[in-house]
Amino acid sequence: MLINSSFPSQIRISKEYDVESRVENIRDIIRKIRKIRAELSIHPKEIINVKIFINESNLVKDLAETF
Residues 6+ apart with CB under 8 A from 50: 33
The predicted pLDDT at position 41 comes to: 95
- 51-62 confidence digits (pLDDT tens): 888 887 777 777
Residues 6+ apart with CB under 8 A from 54: 60, 63
**Residue 19 pLDDT > 90, yes or no?**
no
pTM: 0.61
Contact by Cβ (8 Å): 59, 22 = yes
Which ranges of 1-67 would DSSP assign to H, the alpha helix?
A: 10-39, 57-66
